[in-house]
Amino acid sequence: MDSIEDRIKPWPADKRVIGEAVRDAVLPQLGPVLKAAYASVGMSDVPEEMLQQEERKFKRISTGDFCPAYFAEQAVIARNIATQVSYPDYLAGYAFYAAGLTSALVDKVKWKSKSRRDALLLSLAQSIFSDVAVAMNHFFAGEAERLERERAEKRAVLEEEARQVEHAVAVIGQGLMRLSDGDLATMIQEPLKAQYDRLRQDFNAALGNLASAMSTVLTVASNIGSGTQEVNASISDLSSRTEQQAASLEETAAALSEITTNVASASKTTDEAKQITLAASRAADKSTAVVAHAEEAMQRIEQSSQQISNIIGVIDEIAFQTNLLALNAGVEAARAGEAGKGFAVVAQEVRELAQRSATAAKEIKSLIQNSSAEVGKGVQLFRETSSALKVIGEHITQINRQMDMIATTSREQAVGLAEVNSAMSAMDQNTQRNAAMVEELLAAAATLDDQSAMLREQISRFRTDRTEDGHRLSDRQTRPMARRA
């Protein structure tokens, strides 16, 4: 592709003549136009040297003198401005510059013919746009060079960052390889660049935390294994005790069942004994009544004996009087002599009869007195018997009340024992279920022990700074388990 110098050629002589007329017409206003154009893009303090460069450039472009000196000077001007203003501002300033030159030319040639004005304005426009093309070419070339420098700098930065990333990845990768081999003790000691050294520090911190966690996990796993074995032993012991308890509960339930039967039988026997005591109480009441009647009869007999004794006393008195009369009659008969002998015999017999009557009366009286004494004793015995029967009746009543209480208590005990028997049956069922749960716990503990062993085996391949190798850590951690087992 042709360069800008090859594409923009110097003007021929006829165009240069028109251009010289444009130069002469506009050159007096060039300074103010330049200052106004620079001020429009914020460059109010323009050095005099730059204004002189702009004047030399205008003299060349207005006459079509696109020589190497022009291109060199325009390149300096364009690149200098490009470092101070943006591309849109650069074009805006150039438009202000072109408008100012055009206005100055129009003021100078407004009295000329239209064809002359058109030729002069066309020449000015061609010179301005040719200069714009050269300026933009150098502006874009400068921008391209700047962008290329920036790209080169960025490439260098990116390449350096890539090298640093590659180095950091290699260093971290080596650490990860050691980590994958189970090495948790070797930290990354080589410092990396600032933005990557944090990664190294985080890796080392994570490695330290992981090593600590692994050691803790292994210790916990070992403790779990030891605890599992202890739990297993405890569960086995619990299983044995549960079986013994189940057997004891079964025996207790059988004994309670037998006791319940015995208590029920005792309750029935107590009820029967209660009926017997009730019958005995009724018999005692009847005996008391009979004794009372007998006592009354004995009292009547005693009264009759007393009356008989009184009658016997009267008879004895009569016998005494009869004997006395017979004696008197005998005396009188003796006085009468022979005539009174028969009467004396009768008197003697009457006397003997009176004596026998007196003797019989005395004997009867003695018998009646003895009978009365015996009747008195009988009455006393009946009274004592009546008192004893009353006491027996009261005792039987008390026994009856006690038997009621015993019967009630026996029934309550029977009910309570039935409830206890039911509770014992429920306890026996619960014990059987507990035994089944203990068996399940034994199986779960065995599974947990196996899982703990697998965990220790997996963790044992890691090496931390606390041990020389992971297997030794595993052996040392599991040795207490072996002793406990």
Burial bucket for residue 124 (CB in 10 Å: 0-12, 13-18, 19+):
buried
Residue predicted with more confidence, 229 or 32? 32
Q: Name the residue ranges covered by the structural domains of the chain.
A: 4-162, 209-472
Q: Is the predicted pLDDT of residue 117 greater than 50, yes or no?
A: yes
CB count within 10 Å of CB 271 equals 16
Regarding predicted confidence, which is higher, 202 or 2? 202
Distance (Å, whole) CA 16 – CA 263: 150
Asked if residues 263 and 410 have their Cβ atoms less than 8 Å apart, the reply is: yes
- CA dist 289 and 385 (Å) reads 11
Which range among 5-19, 24-38, 90-104, 418-432 shows the weakest confidence by mean pLDDT? 418-432
Distance from C-alpha of 365 to C-alpha of 238, rounded to nearest angstrom: 98
Number of neighbours of residue 463 by Cβ within 10 angstroms: 22
Residue 186's pLDDT band (boundaries 50, 70, 90)? confident
Looking at domain 209-472, its CATH superfamily turns out to be Methyl-accepting chemotaxis protein (1.10.287.950)
**Of 350, 352, 355, 343, nearest to 335 (Cα)?**
343
Confidence of residue 115 (pLDDT cuts 50, 70, 90): very high
pTM of the predicted structure, to 2 decimals: 0.35
Q: Residue 140 pLDDT > 80, yes or no?
A: no
Per residue in 283-336, pLDDT (tens digit) is 878 877 877 787 788 788 778 878 877 887 888 888 888 888 888 888 888 888
Report for 78-92, 112-126, 260-274, 440-454: range of highest mean pLDDT: 112-126
User: CA–CA separation, 142 vs 150, rounded Å?
Assistant: 12
**pLDDT score of 345:** 82
**pLDDT tops 60 at residue 481:** no
pLDDT for 32 beyond 60: yes
Token reading at 157: 């930065």
Cite the beta strand spans of 335-477 per DSSP E. Answer: none
* Residues 148, 156: Cα–Cα separation, whole Å: 12
What is the arithmetic mean of pLDDT over 238-255? 76
- Residue-level pLDDT at 227: 81
Instruction: Tell me the C-alpha distance between 151 and 168, whole Å.
Output: 24
256 — pLDDT class (breaks 50, 70, 90): low
Does residue 365 sit in helix, strand or coil?
A: helix
Query: pLDDT-derived band of residue 17, with 50, 70 and 90 as boundaries?
Result: very high
pLDDT one-digit tens code per residue, 322-365: 888 888 888 888 888 787 778 788 888 887 888 888 888 788 77
pLDDT of the residue at 467: 54
Question: Encoding tokens for residue 104?
Answer: 């100055």
pLDDT over 90 (residue 4): no
Name the pLDDT band for 479 (thresholds 50, 70, 90).
Answer: very low
For Cα atoms 37, 39, 42, give the angle at the middle one, nearest 5 degrees: 125
Q: How confident is the model at residue 477 (pLDDT cuts 50, 70, 90)?
A: very low
* Locus of tokens 């350096």: 160
Model pLDDT, residue 13: 92
DSSP 9: P
Q: Count CB neighbours of 387 within 10 A.
A: 12
Q: Distance (Å, rounded) from C-alpha 94 to C-alpha 77?
A: 13
Nearest to 477 by CA among 183, 182, 218: 218
Decide if domain 4-162 falls under CATH 1.10.490: yes
CA angle 40, 43, 48 (to 5 degrees): 120
Considering the chain, what percentage of its residues have pLDDT values greater than 90? 6
The amino acid occupying position 485 is A
Structure tokens at 146: 């700047």
Rounded Cα–Cα distance for residues 116 and 462 (Å)? 98
What is the C-alpha to C-alpha distance for residues 387 and 379, in angstroms, rounded to an integer?
12
The SS3 of residue 463 is strand
Q: How confident is the model at residue 120 (pLDDT cuts 50, 70, 90)?
A: very high
pLDDT of residue 43 exceeding 80: yes
Q: What is the dihedral of CA 274, 279, 285, 289, to 10 degrees?
A: 180
Q: Which residue has the higher pLDDT, 181 or 485?
A: 181
Average pLDDT, the chain: 80
**Residues paired with 183 in a beta bridge:** 463
Rounded-to-integer distance, Cα 179 and Cα 190, Å: 17
Per-residue pLDDT of 376-413, as tens digits, reads: 887 787 778 778 878 877 886 886 788 788 678 777 87
Closest CA to 208 of 174, 183, 172, 180: 183
Range of 12-26, 176-190, 292-306 with top mean pLDDT: 12-26
Q: Is the dihedral of CA 210, 212, 215, 219 positive or negative?
A: negative
From residue 352, alpha-carbon distances to 75, 315, 356, 414 in Å are 212, 15, 6, 87
* Maximum separation of any 2 CA atoms in the chain, in Å: 254
Tell me the CA distances in angstroms from 242 to 252, 294, 315, 430, one per residue in order: 14, 73, 102, 10
